[in-house]
Amino acid sequence: MGEYSYIAVMQDGKEKKGTMEAKDAERVRQQLRSEGLIATEIKEQNILTRDINISLGGGVKARDLGVFCRQLSSIIKAGVTIVQALGMLAEQTENKALAKAIRDTQTAVEMGETLGDAMRHTKSVYPTILINMVDAGEASGSLDIAFERMATHFEKHARLTGMVKKAMIYPIVLISVAIVVMIVMSVVVVPKFTSMFADMGAQLPLITRIVMGISDFFIHRWYIALTLVVIIVLFLRFFTATPQGKIFFGKVAVKMPIFGKLNVKSVSANFSRTMSTLLSTGISVATALEITARSMNNILYKQALEQARYEVEQGVPTSTPLRKSGLFPPMVHHMLKIGEETGNIEDMLNKVAEYYEEEVELTTQGLTAAMEPAIIIVMALIVGTLVLAIYSPMISMYSNLGNL
């Protein structure tokens, strides 16, 4: 099974982008055709272009839930009963945690429970937003539409968060490769020249002495470096679990250079998409804010939305506490205010989500394009410094021999 990205045209002429797992590109084209889409571009993804799957708990990824909702919607439209549809999906779902949850849900429905109540037994797998959408779909008799909306929601969530994670991989790769190169050069290459430099008896350049000192440290005192790494990792794990640590790293996430703006745009897109999806079910704004707050990973946004929910229950417009929080871009609370004044909050939030999803994609593409030459430049500087440290004494020695 390969993973393919695609661009397709919907029946209304709008363009849709996404990813799909299939045996080959033709299977992707057939699946898109069965959903009423015409593929214009299909590409197999590699390790650098592949979207990163984001787990929503219980070992189930957003993309898995998106596929589940998309397939269930199609099966229900075909006139198959819920019990039969769940049985079909349980057999073909590869994710074991999701397959077990589907079978448990099927059993509960067979015993007379509603689909929403049956899904509540496995909240660790089914997110609250999905359960609320199912309740609304059952109440209105439009369960297929509810699952179709959730499929779009999970697909966009997985793609958006995956792009942000992918953009952050490049600095991690850069740092990791740089550390590995330094260690290998220091432990393997530099020691071979150390004895030769010692026999020369001449004053070595400063850069050579520094490199030799680093090499000696990695060879004879490696345990100190390892101990420091272990202490730092344990401290960070402990600190991130504390309220102060969550607030500290929450601030770092939105204020760090380059990636801070990317994180803010990503959170704005996720907030707008989740709120729009929840409000489409007819639930109150306060309840939607409560559910959305629970889905936030950044404690700052979680607290801001919880405060917003409290103020909304007191009669304050939603746009006011969001503006006062200072965490969201002006466009979010401005568009939300327009939606409140026109009574069209859902559509306004949907437009905001589409705007910031596109912004995240463009920003990510720019970052990845800039990081590729940056990695090459940094690696060249590291290797060049080590080569200079090794060959400077040798060049100096040959120059002295030439003057004799």
Q: Is the domain of 329 the same as that of 280?
A: yes
Domain assignment of residue 22, yes or no: yes
- The Cα–Cα gap between 111 and 109 comes to 5
Q: Is the domain of 12 the same as that of 79?
A: no
Q: Is the domain of 30 the same as that of 107?
A: no
Tokens at residue 317, please?
């417009």
243 Cβ contact partners less than 8 Å away, ≥ 6 residues apart = 299
Q: Which of 114, 129, 155 is at the close of a domain?
A: 155
Q: Is the domain of 43 the same as that of 66?
A: no
Q: Is the domain of 283 the same as that of 338?
A: yes
Domain containing 24 — which CATH number? 3.10.20
- The number of residues in the chain equals 404
Q: Is the domain of 293 the same as that of 338?
A: yes
Q: Is the domain of 18 the same as that of 76?
A: no
In the block, tokens 């994710």 appear at 95
Domain assignment of residue 393, yes or no: no
Domain assignment of residue 375, yes or no: no
116 or 200: whose pLDDT is higher? 116
Domain assignment of residue 205, yes or no: no
Q: Which domain holds residue 355?
A: 259-360
Q: What is the pLDDT of residues 152-162, one digit of tens each?
A: 888 888 887 77
pLDDT-based confidence at 90, cuts 50/70/90?
Answer: confident
Q: Is the domain of 37 the same as that of 104?
A: no
**pLDDT at residue 346 in the model:** 86
Residue 58 has pLDDT above 80, yes or no: no
Query: Model-level pTM?
Result: 0.66
Q: Is the domain of 27 the same as that of 106?
A: no
* Number of domains observed in the structure of the chain: 3
Q: Which of 133, 155, 177 is at the close of a domain?
A: 155
35-41 average pLDDT score: 77
Domain assignment of residue 304, yes or no: yes
pLDDT-based confidence at 234, cuts 50/70/90?
Answer: very high
Q: Is the domain of 21 the same as that of 114?
A: no
Domain assignment of residue 289, yes or no: yes
**pLDDT at residue 198 in the model:** 64
Domain containing 346 — which CATH number? 1.20.81.30
Domain assignment of residue 346, yes or no: yes
**pLDDT at residue 55 in the model:** 43
169 Cβ contact partners less than 8 Å away, ≥ 6 residues apart = 52
Per the DSSP assignment, residues forming a β-bridge with 15 are 9
Under 8 Å between Cβ of 259 and 363: no
What is the distance, to the nearest Å, from the Cα of residue 164 to the centroid of all Cα atoms in its chain? 5
Q: Is the domain of 319 the same as that of 271?
A: yes
In the block, tokens 């800039």 appear at 370
What percentage of residues in the chain have a pLDDT greater than 90? 7
196-202 average pLDDT score: 63
- The Cα–Cα gap between 389 and 379 comes to 15
Closest CA to 276 of 289, 266, 295: 289
**What is the helix (H) or strand (E) element at residue 40, kind and residue range?**
strand 38-44
140 or 145: whose pLDDT is higher? 145
What percentage of residues in the chain have a pLDDT greater than 70? 88
Which span out of 33-37, 79-83, 175-179, 373-377 was modeled with the highest average pLDDT?
A: 79-83
* Helices assigned H by DSSP within 241-344: 243-255, 259-279, 285-294, 299-313, 319-325, 330-342
Q: Is the domain of 11 the same as that of 89?
A: no
Domain assignment of residue 381, yes or no: no
Going by the DSSP 8-state scheme, the letter that residue 61 receives in this structure is B
